[in-house]
Amino acid sequence: MGSLEEVTVARIAEVEDCSKQWCLAWHHSGGILASCGDDKVVRVWKCTAESPFLECRTKLDSSHTRAIRSVCFSHDGKFLASASFDSTIVIYEKGEDGEFEETNKLEGHESEVKGCAFSPSDEFFATCSRDKSVWFWQLDEEDDFAVSSILQPHTGDVKFITWHPTEDLLLSCSYDFSIRLYKFDGEVSSFLSTDHCKIHLGLGHSSTHCAAFDATGRRMVTVGEDRVVQLWTCTATPEEGGVRNGKWQKAARCTVAWNSVNGLIAVGGGDESVRVFRVEGTEGEETIQEIAQYTGHEGDVNCVSWHPKDSTLLATASDDGSIRLLRLQL
């Protein structure tokens, strides 16, 4: 059994009772980390080799009027995006001085925006909302974001979205007990969601909170209200696969991240803990084995994110108002 050792703790306490941290995202260089939360601020942290290991270098605090639920970087590092409960998405562009400044505000969702993500090619940008819709935006040559598709296949809140690691294929998680896949159709220049791209979770989660693909995109893992970590095999016609293991959980699983380097899965949730799992066995006969655990948080763990370069470094965001870096020791 390994361990998750605490590297540093950055506490957000400027606004009393409004410090819950919802999301964090690594810049693809691994040098900076973005975070967001209830205090309506996007923070950009510099990752350093020595103590304090995280230094807040930028606060973007004038763009949103309500809690910020999600942040993400474009793969080329040019853009940072934030999605808020005020129903807007803000795009920040990196300037010549290395700082990010607001350059665009995307509007259209009728309710809280819960997720945002750039496609692997950075040509597309997706958002999801409590209004049950998934929006696709396309980046033009002038760096403007135009609506490409608006889809509403879900019958409940859309809580989370994530892209396939190499294809323009998007996955969405909803409170309606299903996940959806969307693929770009070049002939009609829009994204489509069809019946064969819907996975019913009658034998899976009661409500899906988060999902992650492995490095190849052939498998994915989901977590949800039922306290189960679920593995899936991705095929042309998605069907349920993998294993379920719910004996060890005590609270809902809120977040999951699949390490693209070593294949380990990090999970956080409502029991204030972070767990790391290894997938063992041959395809179709996999088992999930817990190999490390961290119990230092004092609130729900809302987001976990592996460092893109250092496969042993994990960042976490929590209801306790902290951003933490954890080191995996095996």
Q: What is the mean pLDDT of residues 167-189?
A: 84
Digit-coded pLDDT (tens) for 212-231: 999 999 888 988 887 788 88
- Collapse the DSSP code of 320 into the 3-class scheme (helix H, G, I; strand E, B; otherwise coil) and give the result: coil
Of 278, 252, 250, nearest to 264 by C-alpha is: 278
The 10s digit of each residue's pLDDT in 289-313 is 999 999 999 999 999 999 999 999 9
Q: Which residues lie closer than 8 Å to 238 by C-beta, 6 or more apart?
A: 181, 196, 197, 199, 232
Q: What b/e string do you get for 3-39 counting C-beta neighbours within 10 Å, with b at 16 or more?
A: ebeebbbbebeeeeeebbbbbbbbbeeeebbbbbbbb
What's the CA gap between 45 and 48, in Å, rounded?
9
Distance between CA 324 and CA 266 in Å, rounded? Answer: 14
Instruction: Answer yes or no: pTM beyond 0.85.
Output: yes
Tens digits of residue pLDDT in 124-158: 999 999 999 999 999 988 888 999 999 999 999 99
H or E segment and range at residue 153: none
Rounded to whole angstroms, the Cα distance separating 63 from 84 reads: 10
Portion of the chain with pLDDT greater than 70, in percent: 87
Kindly give, in sequence order, each residue whose CB lies less than 8 Å from that of residue 204, ignoring residues fewer than 6 positions away. 222, 224, 226, 228, 230, 240, 244
Close Cβ partners of 41 (under 8 Å, ≥ 6 residues apart): 12, 14, 59, 60, 61, 68
Tell me what pLDDT residue 231 has: 86
